[in-house]
Structure 1
Amino acid sequence: MKSTFKYYGPAILWALFVLILCAIPISVREGEGLFFAGFDKMVHCIFFFVLSVLYCTGSIRKWHTRNIRIEIAMKNTVVLLSYGALIEVLQSRVFTWRSGDWHDLLADTIGASMGIFAVLVTGNAINSNK
């Protein structure tokens, strides 16, 4: 457990932060955003982009690689999408003041994919100069 937190500590803390924010009641009517329509989807995308980058960085550190390998990227994708689905289920079943939404899960998927892609591109750019 200690070694897991050593590598994935920032990602775990960010995931808890995301869970807390997704559980807080917000007084916004269905179909409207806090600031504009679609704001909620943008926030989900950003949350999962950051979570993805932190999780991939932990994987790179744990496996001592210079860049994220495809099998690690696939595993990370499954973990992140499962976490996004868990949040949506919790929002629809447990946090009854919130609503689970397939579009939120899609935004989570897009954010996670963007984060993995950003880590791949950044890793390749850094390693091509060496």
Structure 2
Amino acid sequence: MHMDSITADQPTFFEGFDKLVHTGLFYVLTLLILRGKLKQRAEHSLRFTTILKIVLFSVFFGALIELLQWKVFTYRSGDWWDLFCDALGVAMAVFSYFCLRWDKYAKVF
């Protein structure tokens, strides 16, 4: 869908809506990856190296999407703020994971 058909004055969208969507989608993506890794390992916590790999993968995925929008798709444009919001969503997911699993990580901190 061409973005020209969506205007900022439509009542369902507001300025910054795109950034909110980026943050939310990468928050959910990272939480699902963390949850899947927990189910795969059948343990109650993840190692820091595993969490770091998930963070790097998620941020790399966001950067790849922005690079493709910038270089490949003619009707889209890459944006540094979109990448920042992707990384913010990833950081929020990891923070949520640590808050929910605090009893497993409290002795480390």
TM-score by shorter chain over 0.5: yes
Give the TM-score normalised by the residue count of structure 2: 0.82
Change (3 A) 1:33 1:63: farther
Percent of aligned pairs with the same residue?
35
Equivalent position amino acid for 2:18 in 1: D
Q: What does residue 68 of structure 2 align with? A: 90
Which of 111, 118, 123 is equivalent to 2:89? 111
Give the TM-score normalised by the residue count of structure 1: 0.70
Larger Rg belongs to: 2
Cα distance in 1 for residues equivalent to 2:9 and 2:104: 38
Q: What does residue 99 of structure 2 align with? A: 121
Cα distance in 2 for residues equivalent to 1:115 and 1:73: 11
3-state DSSP class of the match of 2:52? helix
RMSD over aligned CA atoms reads 2.3
> How many pairs were matched up?
103
Q: 1:126 Cα shift?
A: 8.6
Q: Which has the higher contact order (CA 8 A, sep 6+)?
A: 2
Cα distance in 2 for residues equivalent to 1:46 and 1:81: 14
Cα distance in 2 for residues equivalent to 1:85 and 1:109: 9
Greater fraction of residues in helix = 1
Equivalent position amino acid for 1:25 in 2: H
Q: Does the Cα contact within 8 Å between 1:85 and 1:105 map onto a contact in 2?
A: yes
Q: What does residue 102 of structure 1 align with? A: 80
Q: What does residue 28 of structure 2 align with? A: 50
Where does structure 2 lack aligned partners over 5 or more consecutive residues?
none
Stretches of 4+ moved more than 6 A in 1?
none
1:77 lines up with 2:58 in the alignment: no
Q: 1:69 Cα shift?
A: 2.3
Where does structure 1 lack aligned partners over 5 or more consecutive residues?
1-23
Cα distance in 1 for residues equivalent to 2:74 and 2:46: 38
Equivalent position amino acid for 1:111 in 2: G
Q: Does the Cα contact within 8 Å between 2:30 and 2:93 map onto a contact in 1?
A: yes
Cα distance in 1 for residues equivalent to 2:104 and 2:2: 42
Residues 3-42 of structure 1: CA distance to partner in whole angstroms, max 9, x if unpaired? xxxxxxxxxxxxxxxxxxxxx432246xx58711111111
Cα distance in 2 for residues equivalent to 1:42 and 1:50: 12
Q: Does the Cα contact within 8 Å between 1:33 and 1:39 map onto a contact in 2?
A: no
